[in-house]
Amino acid sequence: MLDRHPFIHYLCIVSVLIFAAWLRWPHSEIDHRAVYMDNDSLYQLQRIHDTLVNYPKVPTQDAKLHHPNGYQLHWPGLYPWLMASYVKLGFDAVDDSLAGIARKTGYLPIVWGLLACLFWMRASAQFLSSKETSIAIGLLIGCMPYTIAVSRYGILDHHGFVDLALSIMAYGCVCKRRWIQSIGLVMGLALTPEFPYYALILLAIWAWYQSYLSLGSKVGDWLPFALVMLVWTLNQVVQQGPWVWWDLYRLSLTHAALFAACSFAANLSRTIDWRKRMLPSLMFFGLTLLTVCLLVLWSNGQAAILVERLSQTGRMSIAEETSVLRWPLWNMPIWIWIYIPIAFIAAFNCVRALLRRATMDFVTSGLVLVTYIVALREIRHFAVLQGALISTGICLLIIGMRRIEHPIHITLKRSLALGLLCLALTAAYIGNRQYQRVRQSDYANWNPLVTEIPAWLAKNTSSHHAVMAPWDIGHQIRVLADRSVSLDPFNFPDPIDVIIEDVYLAKDEDELLQALERYQCKWLVAANPTSSIAAVLDPADTRWSNWFAGGTASNPVLRPQALENPMVRLWIAPSWLPQSLRLRTVAEKTVAIKFVGQPGTVSCPLYRIYEQVPGALVRVIDAKESFKLETIALSGGHEVICQPLIQSDDQNTWKVIYPAPYKGQGIQFPNAYRLWNESQEFEVVISEEDVVLGRLVEIRLSDLKPGKDQVPD
């Protein structure tokens, strides 16, 4: 019908895009704060700010990450350079604050998400010669939760360009316009760090197809290599610092050599007359490409790094790097079930096409199968490849249905197509509802962590001191508080596993303090440490069964024995207890939790901030009998007695890590210390300077003021 009514077709396209834009538009405070909640987006915001300060150069070294060593960024420099250039456009003064940049760039992800949706619709309409199907594909892409997640308001994550680049390449391939394919390839290479690997896999399949059928030209086979060299050169020009020549994680000559290997294999394959023998041709091309790639990686020392990365040996477990598939299968979200049958159909079609020597069917099904394998392997790939999964999957199903010619089967085919569309739309609707609920829950839990902690650190700490905090809020502290952090979400090329093990698997407070000193961190943020512990703790370790009672690997349930871990104690234990000789609570927040079937609520810590201080050494020098030193601490709405630790065998010498009187966030000492025994009682004031500078405070009883009883009934 749409073929006969172009106006209705364009009206449908516009309606789909408007609906998709509405789903990505900010509707609440949650959406407006999206850039602060998403780690990659927040750090891209920082990179844009740094680029504006150093324009036209893009800094590639951040001394405030991976403290004290700093971090060499592996993300391409062209993305922040382009975004900074966009921010500088206009006649008004450039607002280079984080909030100003976020306001001006927040709507751009919606634009590239809609463009990707449009290109996928155009590519599928051209490939299937069916405008109705392309509208259905656009509707699904527009409302699937993962496509929204990477292209909604404020998400400045570079991963959104993976979908757009692939859609442009697919459209150029279907339209047989090599220059359009080149635009998509250049965009992906320039703006996303993972795209070279997507592109290399897809182009390898396409290069074999071209060489097997003697399509294209030998010179054209080398075009991808030339484009990689072009993007690499531009990236080095805009970035500060020395050029990156050989690197696996940063666009370099390593990637150019891998693309050259693909071109070499295609050219070599062209010289042989295969006489329609697909399998020998495929094996020759694959072995040639694999051999050259291994030689390249081995010669520049990147092979071992790649093997470790793919096998994930010795690396901590991160949720976004885990497989989408779950066991048992019914634990998976409903929309994932749509893709699993299509992956099996693609695999079956590949085998059948190979046996029948159907070259085009083999290439089409192979591209679909490779896309699905990559997407299902890790959640982050699954998110950014949603447009490709939906488009290629539906195209594969439609092509299969068109082979059915029997009249009865045609009716069944149409009913099946309608049923699949309804199922997909239902899954998308349910997925969106679940996505909204999860986002609301994440916002409620994350909001204090990503707003209150950085705000407190920015106000109460010095930029000269680093912070040890959970790795998943490292970017928030680095960007929003402008403080150095030892743990942050960048886990490669320089892994943070060793740091997490030193801190979160420390045997006692002394070992923990040694780790803080080794990484030169004065401040420690203790939030729920279970996911960090589980990320680096081997499940075969006896501590796993002793500390965890169940749950998931990313969020296990703690047993009481977990209090053996000092980080768990620092998080759970009341802040008025002296956790060690040198760590004191300076800020905390608790939340009230209600358990099902039990009356009342239980106070649970959300976070605690500790300061590492030398502590004052308080000594009574003229006492002839033993005294006690204590004061009242107000914590969580309760009054408790705080008693400093006694030093050595001297009963009249104490290590004091809290001043008194003292008023902090979440913990207060309203009165001075009480020095007393059964016959005498005195007030002792300990200042903040005494604690921070580690002074020796010598007390003469004759100089003290008599005090009142502070001990509660």
Answer whether residue 438 shows pLDDT above 90.
no
Residues 6 or more apart whose Cβ sits within 8 Å of residue 340: 325
DSSP annotation of 157: -
Please write the tens of the pLDDT for every residue from 500-538: 999 999 988 889 999 999 999 999 999 888 888 888 888
pLDDT value for 77: 93
Q: What is the pLDDT averaged over residues 416-442?
A: 65
Q: How far apart are CA 400 and CA 388, in angstroms?
A: 18
Instruction: For 647, list phi and psi in degrees, rounded to 5.
Output: -95, 130
Kindly indicate the confidence band of residue 589, based on its pLDDT and cuts at 50, 70 and 90: confident
CA angle (551, 608, 584) in 5-degree steps: 135
Q: How far is CA 704 from CA 236, 366, 653, 698, in A?
A: 68, 85, 16, 11
Answer whether residue 397 shows pLDDT above 90.
no
Answer whether residue 129 shows pLDDT above 60.
yes
pLDDT value for 400: 77
Please name which of 172, 174, 213, 168 lies closest in space to residue 191, comparing C-alpha atoms: 168
pLDDT value for 678: 85
Which amino acid belongs to residue 285?
Answer: F
Please write the tens of the pLDDT for every residue from 288-339: 999 998 998 888 877 777 776 666 544 565 666 677 776 666 666 666 777 8
Answer whether residue 116 shows pLDDT above 50.
yes
Q: How far apart are CA 642 and CA 712, in angstroms?
A: 12
pLDDT value for 553: 58
Please write the tens of the pLDDT for every residue from 344-393: 888 998 888 888 888 888 888 888 898 888 888 888 888 889 899 989 98
pLDDT value for 713: 33
Q: What is the pLDDT averaged over residues 199-206?
A: 88
Kindly indicate the confidence band of residue 476, based on its pLDDT and cuts at 50, 70 and 90: very high
pLDDT value for 60: 92
pLDDT value for 76: 92
Give yes or no for a contact between 190 and 238, defined as CB atoms under 8 angstroms apart.
Answer: no
| Residues in a beta bridge with 610 | 524, 585
Q: How far apart are CA 338 and CA 335, in angstroms?
A: 6
CA angle (276, 126, 190) in 5-degree steps: 85
Burial class (CB in 10 A: 0-12, 13-18, 19+), 14: exposed
Please write the tens of the pLDDT for every residue from 653-710: 888 888 888 887 667 888 899 898 888 889 899 998 998 898 999 988 887 777 654 3
Q: Is 686 helix (H, G, I), strand (E, B) or coil?
A: strand
Is the C-alpha dihedral spanning 592, 595, 599, 602 positive or negative?
Answer: negative
Q: Is 240 helix (H, G, I), strand (E, B) or coil?
A: coil
pLDDT value for 710: 39
Please write the tens of the pLDDT for every residue from 38-69: 889 999 999 999 999 999 999 999 999 999 99
Q: CB count, 10 Å around CB of 266?
A: 26
Answer whether residue 274 shows pLDDT above 80.
no
Please write the tens of the pLDDT for every residue from 443-454: 656 677 788 899
Is the pLDDT higher at 252 or at 414? 252
Q: CB count, 10 Å around CB of 345?
A: 18
pTM: 0.87
* Average pLDDT, rounded, for the chain: 83
Answer whether residue 578 shows pLDDT above 60.
no
Q: What is the pLDDT averaged over residues 125-154?
A: 86
Percent of the chain past pLDDT 70, that is, above it, reads 83
pLDDT value for 234: 95
Give yes or no for a contact between 232 and 222, defined as CB atoms under 8 angstroms apart.
Answer: no
